[in-house]
Chains A and B, each alone.
Chain A
Amino acid sequence: MESFNYDNKIVRNFAFASIAFGVIGMLVGLLAALQLVFPSLNFGIAETTYGRIRPLHTNAVIFAFVGNGIFMGVYYSLQRLLKTRMYSDVLSQIHFWGWQAIILAAAITLPLGITSSHEYAELEWPIDIAIALVWIVFGINMFGTILKRRENHLYVAIWFYIATWITVTVLHVFNNLELPVHLFKSIPVFAGVQDALVQWWYGHNAVAFFLTTPYLGLMYYFLPKAANRPVYSYKLSIIDFWALIFIYIWAGPHHLLYTSLPDWAQSLGTVFSVMLIAPSWGGMLNGLLTLRGAWDKVRTDPVLKFMVVAVTAYGMATLEGPLLSVKSINAISHYTDWTVGHVHVGALGWNGMLTFGVLYWLIPRIYDTKLYSMKLANWHFWIGTLGIAFYAIPLYWAGWTQSLMWKQFTPDGFLVYGNFLETVTQILPMYMLRIVGGTLYYAGVLMMVYNIWKTVAAGKLIADQPAQAPALEAYVPHKGEYWHKWIERKPIQMLIASAVLILIGGLVEIIPMMMIDNNVPKIASVQPYTPLELEGRDIYIREGCVGCHSQMIRPFRSETERYGEYSKSGEFIYDRPFLWGSKRTGPDLHRQGGKYPDSWHYNHMLEPESMSPGSIMPPYPWLFKNEINTKYTAAKIKTLQTLGTPYPDGYADRAVEDLEKQAKQVAERLSKDGINQDNMEKKEIVALIAYLQRLGTDIKVKQTPAAEVK
């Protein structure tokens, strides 16, 4: 027998970080929810305005709350499943502090409007590099631990950790291929449709391989622990693993149904999304059936209660996901709050409740004490569950209501709700109820903080928990053993096998998209943005307008009636990054150009309610004070030229000159409409107006004569 110690301190650190960032990230979410009902809560300050707060919320809960939750669970279970201490305490420390530093950097840069605008990958390139480095440190530490193990076989939870690690590495690298303009700004290598496909291949698999597979690993470890009985079917867990990682990677295009993405890619996304039901439910059933014969324990043990709701929420979300990927259902759900409700069943239910369950189970154990209050934990469970229901149901209702209103025609063929705002004010009561749900859930989290605080105060951390295990014996292959054993015994083989599986899906979808030129038919009249429009576009990106406004009109009559001609893939070839968006809290903007006079936009950005009474859009007063930053305009043009945007040779040197000329024209037009401001042509609002007026106008050029004939 060999003696060694488990490192509980690192587990404790990640656990506390997860709790702390859960408290912060959910509070920011609550603020965002409040802002949607009470726009004054944007405070008229750039850093606290919804467009910047939303990515802060999503990043905080995904990468800070759930991320630290993953590491907590992995560091606890990996050591015990392999009967060894982590490979290197130093690497554990670097991993922990590195990850927290990245979170801190995100918390600073996102409110400052420093964003790449790729959803869930908003952080700019220096932070992307830091993420890659810390992730590699985690990988070395994990594989080092696996290599010095005292257990021949790798339990299925570890397979999930390995697949998570390799896939997140691949996704992170591909979705952040970008050329830096300066320290806080980069331009993505892919444009338009291709950027959209890579982004949603990433975005969907962030859900799959950050929010799902590592948590399934935790489920396969902690649920049997908490129930004190082995998993229902180990065989099922193996089939579940291979099927899940293979299928998941293909499903990304379901985020782009009915968009300008080529049909074949959309169809692949749909087919694989529907197939996902099988492995997802395999995992859910395996979790729930582990409790067979132990349901009496569920009545009394809050840990099991949390886990049961978590696994059930996983089952609900993974049934709903495939349904939402069916085109006819997606036609209704896309751009609405249905999607928001759906992801929160996953986030609050699956990730949140499983994290809480693990925390209640784990903290008393590493502190060598009992949980301070079972009663309080039970209260947390009930108030949290109720919170989820109050969050999700109103948003489903809101989503259906709004979508049906968008599509409602009069018998004469006109839109019943031609004013988009009507469909927003209609669902504000549902947004209020969502706040109630979020508050309930949050109250539960605060109860947990108190409960764990008291538990920790009553106990003492077993920083180094002694353990004993026999040394690893040289493995003697049995007669008839096959190569699957060879894979599952060896972490590197497992890594390669997982990598091959996920790469098949990724490559088959993405490479043809990049290679086949006619996937994106060119439109002759589509031209690159002018320097002023480019700067305006960067302001649009900085303010997170994409969080509420799509730029992708689907080929439905209800959309072409409301917004104009549907969007063509050829219109986006100069869009780096693409700004299609995924939610319409406000109307689509792809055909915004020329729809209203410049003065309308001026007044609307200054005080949205002056143009649209009842609007919940925040005001943007700083755009009228800040001057357009032309310091990097030339550098941006040069970078775009490197990536193939056809500006004339040497245009970068003349760009600022052109920018000033166009800005003057806009200022003059505003002046004609009676809007005067000192140095108007230097203000950011002018650039933004120029960009908004350009949107979707390139293909309108040809249509003018037809309109005149009519």
Chain B
Amino acid sequence: MYKYILESAGNINWMAIFALLTFFTIFLMSIWLVFRDSKEYIQKMEHLPLEDDATESTYS
């Protein structure tokens, strides 16, 4: 089984590493950016869907 895995790993090395690196770059970048956002901004964004509720909450 291990032999099988090692054998097949030969020609995918660059792909696996490339994929992993790009993923982690993007993942870490999105986390970093998200935590740079100000509290007001996040709060504003969170409430965007709820803004027209005043006219709608009477139903259902």
Q: Which residues of A contact B (CB under 8 A)?
A: 77, 80-81, 151, 153, 155-157, 220-221, 224-225, 228-231, 234-235, 238-239, 241-243, 246-247, 250, 263-264, 267-268, 271-272, 275, 301, 303, 360-361, 364-365, 369-371, 467, 478, 482, 484, 501, 504-505, 508, 512
- In the bound complex, what is the Cα–Cα distance between A352 and B18 (angstroms)? 38
Given contacts A243-B26, A263-B8, A264-B15, contact A238 B47 (CB under 8 A): no
Set of chain B residues within 8 Å of A239, measured between Cβ atoms: 27, 30-31, 34
Would you give the shortest CB distance from A297 to chain B, in whole angstroms?
11
- In the bound complex, what is the Cα–Cα distance between A250 and B19 (angstroms)? 9
B50 touching A246, Cβ below 8 Å: no
Would you give the shortest CB distance from A520 to chain B, in whole angstroms?
14
A81 partner, pick from B18, B30, B48, B60, beta carbons under 8 A = B48
Interface centre among A264, A365, A369 (most CB of B within 10 A): A264
Q: What 9 additional pairs, Cβ within 8 angstroms, besides A239-B31, A508-B18?
A: A80-B49, A151-B48, A228-B53, A234-B46, A238-B34, A267-B16, A275-B23, A482-B36, A505-B19
B37 touching A235, Cβ below 8 Å: yes
30 A-B interface contacts by CB (under 8 A)? A77-B49, A153-B45, A224-B49, A224-B50, A225-B53, A228-B50, A228-B53, A229-B50, A230-B47, A231-B46, A234-B46, A235-B34, A235-B35, A235-B42, A238-B33, A239-B31, A241-B30, A242-B27, A247-B23, A264-B8, A268-B12, A272-B19, A370-B59, A370-B60, A482-B36, A484-B36, A501-B26, A505-B19, A508-B19, A512-B15
Set of chain A residues within 8 Å of B30, measured between Cβ atoms: 238-239, 241-243
- In the bound complex, what is the Cα–Cα distance between A247 and B24 (angstroms)? 11
Would you give the shortest CB distance from A165 to chain B, in whole angstroms?
20
Interface centre among B11, B56, B59 (most CB of A within 10 A): B59
For chain A, what secondary structure do more than half of its interface residues adopt (helix, strand, loop), or is it mixed?
A: helix
- In the bound complex, what is the Cα–Cα distance between A322 and B31 (angstroms)? 23
Would you give the shortest CB distance from A161 to chain B, in whole angstroms?
14
Question: Number of B residues whose C-beta is below 8 Å from A?
Answer: 36
Q: How many A-B residue pairs have CB under 8 A?
A: 104
Given contacts A228-B53, A238-B30, A482-B33, contact A268 B46 (CB under 8 A): no
Would you give the shortest CB distance from B21 to chain A, in whole angstroms?
11
- In the bound complex, what is the Cα–Cα distance between A474 and B13 (angstroms)? 49
For chain B, what secondary structure do more than half of its interface residues adopt (helix, strand, loop), or is it mixed?
A: helix
Set of chain A residues within 8 Å of B11, measured between Cβ atoms: 264
Set of chain A residues within 8 Å of B60, measured between Cβ atoms: 301, 303, 360-361, 364-365, 370-371
Set of chain A residues within 8 Å of B45, measured between Cβ atoms: 153, 155-156, 234
Set of chain A residues within 8 Å of B48, measured between Cβ atoms: 81, 151, 153, 155
Set of chain B residues within 8 Å of A360, measured between Cβ atoms: 60
- In the bound complex, what is the Cα–Cα distance between A221 and B30 (angstroms)? 21
Would you give the shortest CB distance from A62 to chain B, in whole angstroms?
26
B49 touching A246, Cβ below 8 Å: no
Set of chain A residues within 8 Å of B31, measured between Cβ atoms: 239
Would you give the shortest CB distance from B4 to chain A, in whole angstroms?
9
A267 touching B36, Cβ below 8 Å: no
Smallest Cβ-Cβ distance to B36: which chain A residue: A482
Closest 8 CB pairs of A and B: A264-B12, A230-B46, A484-B33, A263-B8, A242-B30, A235-B34, A155-B48, A234-B46
Set of chain B residues within 8 Å of A231, measured between Cβ atoms: 46, 49
Set of chain A residues within 8 Å of B15, measured between Cβ atoms: 264, 268, 508, 512
A504 touching B22, Cβ below 8 Å: yes
- In the bound complex, what is the Cα–Cα distance between A508 and B23 (angstroms)? 13
A225 touching B50, Cβ below 8 Å: yes
Would you give the shortest CB distance from A331 to chain B, in whole angstroms?
13
Would you give the shortest CB distance from A253 to chain B, in whole angstroms?
12
Set of chain B residues within 8 Å of A247, measured between Cβ atoms: 23
Set of chain B residues within 8 Å of A246, measured between Cβ atoms: 22-23, 26-27
Interface centre among B11, B19, B51 (most CB of A within 10 A): B19
Would you give the shortest CB distance from B19 to chain A, in whole angstroms?
7
Smallest Cβ-Cβ distance to B40: which chain A residue: A478
A365 partner, pick from B36, B46, B51, B56, beta carbons under 8 A = B56
B19 partner, pick from A263, A268, A478, beta carbons under 8 A = A268
Set of chain B residues within 8 Å of A155, measured between Cβ atoms: 45, 48-49
A271 touching B26, Cβ below 8 Å: no
B57 touching A271, Cβ below 8 Å: no
- In the bound complex, what is the Cα–Cα distance between A239 and B27 (angstroms)? 7
- In the bound complex, what is the Cα–Cα distance between A264 and B18 (angstroms)? 13
Set of chain B residues within 8 Å of A484, measured between Cβ atoms: 33, 36
Set of chain B residues within 8 Å of A275, measured between Cβ atoms: 23
A221 partner, pick from B19, B33, B49, B56, beta carbons under 8 A = B49
Is B3 interfacial (CB 8 A cutoff)? no
- In the bound complex, what is the Cα–Cα distance between A189 and B56 (angstroms)? 52
- In the bound complex, what is the Cα–Cα distance between A37 and B27 (angstroms)? 48
Would you give the shortest CB distance from A363 to chain B, in whole angstroms?
10
Set of chain B residues within 8 Å of A505, measured between Cβ atoms: 19
Smallest Cβ-Cβ distance to A301: which chain B residue: B60
Smallest Cβ-Cβ distance to A242: which chain B residue: B30
Interface centre among A77, A81, A234, A508 (most CB of B within 10 A): A234
Set of chain A residues within 8 Å of B8, measured between Cβ atoms: 263-264, 267
